[in-house]
Amino acid sequence: MDSRELATNIAQLILEKKGYDVLLMDLKGLTSITDFFVVCTADSDVQAKAIKDHIQDELLYQSVRPWHVEGSKNMNWVLIDFVDVVVHIFQKEAREFYTLERLWGDATITEVKDNDETSGIHTE
C-alpha cells in the first residue's frame, strides 16, 4: 500500500470512531521526514485512545505496524508514526495551540468528511 492509500485508509478509520476535522496533509516535496500527516480532533482521552487503538488494531490485520507511538499516557496529542504517514490525534485545545495546518502551510491539505466526500483545501 502506498503512502496516500495508507493515509486515506487511516482517515476513514478515524471517522469510524467519530474523530473530526480530519485532514490529509501532503508533505511530499516539502520535507524528507514523511509523505503525509493525518490530523484529527478527539473530544476526550477516551475517544483519543479509541481512535489510536482502532487505527493500530485495524492496520495490524493488514500487517502494517507503527514504527513509533507517543502520547499514550496523557492523550492530549497522540502521534502514531508509520514512517511515510504520521498520524496526529489532538484534543481540541492542543490542536488549537499547535496549529499544524499553519506550521505546514505550504502542504496540500485535503479535508476528509464523514460522508466519504473529500474536498481539496490548499492553505498558504
- Please write the tens of the pLDDT for every residue from 51-110: 999 999 999 999 999 999 999 888 999 999 999 999 999 999 999 999 999 999 899 999
- What local confidence, expressed as pLDDT, does residue 71 receive? 92
Mean pLDDT score across all residues of the chain: 91
Question: Which of the pair, 123 or 17, is modelled with greater confidence?
Answer: 17
CB atoms within 10 A of CB 33: 11
Per-residue model confidence (pLDDT) at position 115: 66
Nearest-angstrom CA–CA distance, 80 and 67: 8
Domain positions in the chain are: 3-122
Q: What is the pTM assigned to this prediction?
A: 0.90
Cβ atoms of 92 and 3 within 8 Å: the answer is no
* DSSP-based three-state secondary structure for 115: coil
Paired with 85 in beta bridges are: 36
Query: In the CATH scheme, what is the homologous superfamily, with its name and number, of domain 3-122?
Result: Beta Polymerase, domain 2 (3.30.460.10)
Q: CB-side exposure of 3: number of CA atoms within 13 Å?
A: 18
